[in-house]
Structure formats: structure tokens, C-alpha cells
Amino acid sequence: MGYATLSNIIGRALLEECQQRGIDVLGLLADLKIAPRSIDFSDSRLTLDESFAIWQETHRLVQDPDFAIKASERFQYYRDPLVFQLLATSSTLEDALQNFIRYFDLIDPYVEVTISKEGSNPTLNFRPRSNPKKIGSDYVALLMVYFQRMISVILSNEWSPIHIRLAFEVPESTRMIYQSLFKCPVGIQAPINQIVLDPTQLLRKMPEANPEVHTLLMQFANERLHKVSRPSKLVDDVREILTKTLNQGDTSLESVAKGLGVSPRTLQRKLKNEGVSYQDVLDQHRCELVIRLLREKKLPMTDLAAKLGFSEPSSFYKAFRRWTGRSPEAFRN
């Protein structure tokens, strides 16, 4: 299996926004050693390095904190219609969400989209699978925008989430753009990027639902999905083992390595090749878990500390402040 590649839809939108601002896009691509056909054709795909280079260079040239979110207005679904049509021909909004998750690798296999429950509210979670240094939270948030704009077009702008959360700090001007786009409150500095949905919307009928066409599109999408390489699942595998070991108070590298059938040194080396350390993965997993527990349950702080594998509550408090800048009590309230 070759290197994983991703859709050029974000890179294309960024470059079209640059062109509108008078930047020589062909010259930019030449400097980055990226073939123009990688952008011009909807079925062309980019490597992670190419996508990262376009993201960095366009932001450097434009110097506008709102650049990426403004560029999202240039998403053109008719130029790469498969995922769009899969969602449009789904029977209900809930089916459309499941199809978005199932076929998201066609858009970007380096980002994982999952659905969870926050109380009774379904929540779409967007997080990088690996290479966090090349896949920033602001980039991941643009994929949330991609989803929002698609659903809004399909439903004629007659829908909005309950609220969204961004895993990074943004200037007020950018936050207001997000708020206007999603038509809901926007939280910042969350552990991961999230869209919190209204459960009463899930059974909503899709206006262009078409079971026969949808079946044909799924067959085509499955064929394409088999051709798309995915990045290593190592980080996901580490997180899965941590889920089992945290309750036992065991967060050691040695235990996780044993669960994966490799030596601790091999695991460290493989994680380094993914662009992360074992501590990075452990911190992110603990942070996401405790945020969910704080929102869903009223567990005492000592129990929360134990569930996260901390032997002392004081260590848990220090770690939580490092992750979020707040105390657990302040976050819960």
C-alpha cells in the first residue's frame, strides 16, 4: 500500500483565494514543486507534505488570520461530487452523518471523524489520526466547515448545530465568522474540534433522498475507498489499549508496548515516525476522556483521577490545568 493521499479540495480553495488576492498561484506551486494538475482536476489527490506546504505557504503570503475560513467560501462540491451526492441521497440526516463518517477517508484519511453522545446530544468529533505537527486544529476545523457547508447546501440553509467547539484560540473576528457560518455559539480552546447536534434533527428527511441512486453511489464510493491508502493506525491502537489500562492505574509505556506485541523502544521509535511521543498520545487521550466524563457524569474528582490512572488527585489537577488552563471544577461549572 502506498502513501496516504487526501482530497485537494482545501488546497484548491486556499489557492483560489490567493489568486483572488492577486498572488501568482502558478509561481507558488512551482516554488513548492507541486504539479498544477494536482489542483486543477477534482480526481487528483495531494500527499500530506504537499497539502501541508500549501497550507503554510498560502498563510505566510496572505498574513490574514481569517484567510482559511474565508477561503472555505470557495469549496465547490460539484467539482468532486461523490461525498456530496452520498449525503444528499441519504434517507435521513442521521444516515447522512453515518455516510460522512464512513467515507471521510475519501476526503482526508489523516483526520478521524467519530460520533459520540454528550448527554442526549450527538456530537461529531474531528481529530488528527497522526502527524499533529502537520495537521493543526485550525486545519481540522476547516473540515468541520466543509461538512457544515455541504449540509447547508443540501438542506437549503435550514439547519444549524446546537454549538461547536474549536480546539484552538481564534481572534474575535474569526470567531464571529464561525458563529455566522454555523448559526450557533462557538466555544474555543476545547480538547478537540466538535459539532454538537440537535437530536431532534436526526430523523429529518433529506429532500433529495433516492435509495436507488444512493445504492449505486455507495458501490462507486466503496471502490474508491479501497484504492485510498490510510496512514498508520498506531496511534489509534495505543489509545485503544490505554482505554483498557487506565482504570487499572497503569499508564506505562511498557504495558502498552506489551499489548501491541513490541518492545518499548520499538513503540517509541514508531510513534516518533508518526510525529508524536507516547506522552503526547497519553495526554490527549486522558484529556478527551476527562472532558467527556466531566460533561456526562457527576463523579467525584478523586474517582476521575483514578479513572485516568493518576495515583494522586494533586497530579490530576496539575495535568488538567496544563491541558485546559482551568481547574476541573471550573470546567464542570
Considering the chain, what percentage of its residues have pLDDT values greater than 90?
47
Residue 222 has pLDDT above 70, yes or no: yes
pLDDT band for position 71 (50/70/90)?
A: very high
Q: Which of 10-19, 159-168, 272-281 has the lowest mean pLDDT?
A: 272-281
Cell of 266: 520499538
Summarised one tens digit per residue, pLDDT across range 28-67 is 999 998 988 888 777 788 888 889 999 999 999 999 989 9
pLDDT in tens, 293-331: 776 667 888 888 888 888 888 888 888 888 777 788 877
Supply the pTM of this predicted model. Answer: 0.75
pLDDT the model gives residue 321: 82
Look at residues 110, 107, 1 and name the one whose alpha carbon lies nearest to residue 52: 110
Predicted pLDDT of residue 296: 65
Asked whether 39 and 144 are in contact (CB, 8 A), the reply is: no
Q: What is the identity of the amino acid at 157? A: N
Q: In whole angstroms, what is the distance from residue 43 CA to residue 50 CA?
A: 16
Task: Indicate if the alpha-carbon torsion angle 308, 314, 315, 321 is positive or negative.
Answer: positive
- What length is written for the chain? 333
Quick one: pLDDT at residue 77?
Answer: 67
Q: 129-143, pLDDT tens digit by residue?
A: 766 667 888 999 999
Cβ burial 257-280 (10 Å sphere, 16+ → b, else e): bebbeeeeeebeebbeebebebee
pLDDT at 2 over 70: no
Query: Strand 163-165 to strand 121-128: parallel, antiparallel, or no bridges (unpaired)?
Result: unpaired
For 94-112, b where at least 16 C-beta lie within 10 A, e where not — what string? bbbbebbeebbbbbbbbbb
Q: Please, which residues have CB within 8 angstroms of residue 248's CB and are 6 or more apart in sequence?
A: 309
Structural element, H or E, at residue 190: none
Cell of 240: 485503544
Per domain, the residue ranges of the chain are 68-227, 234-332
Which residues are CB-neighbours of 2 under 8 A, at least 6 positions away? 229
Query: Please, which pLDDT band fits residue 169 given cuts at 50, 70 and 90?
Result: confident
Read off the DSSP letter of residue 193: E
Per residue, the 3-state secondary structure of 142-169, as one string, reads: HHHHHHHHHHHHHCCCCCCCCEEECCCC
Q: Are 106 and 225 in contact (CB under 8 A)?
A: yes
Query: What is residue 218's predicted lDDT score, i.e. its pLDDT?
Result: 94
| 234-332 CATH, one of 3.20.20.70, 1.10.10.60, 1.10.150.20, 3.40.50.11810 | 1.10.10.60
Instruction: Tell me how far apart the alpha carbons of residues 163 and 188 are, in angstroms, rounded to a whole number.
Output: 11
Say if residue 79's pLDDT is above 70: no
Residue 51 has which C-alpha cell?
A: 497539502
Grid coordinates 496572505 are at which residue? 62
Mean pLDDT value across residues 228-238: 76
State yes or no: pLDDT of 1 exceeds 50: no
pLDDT confidence of residue 69: 92
Nearest alpha carbon to residue 75 among 160, 156, 14: 14
pLDDT at 277 > cutoff 90: no
Asked if the model's pLDDT at residue 292 lies above 80, the reply is: no
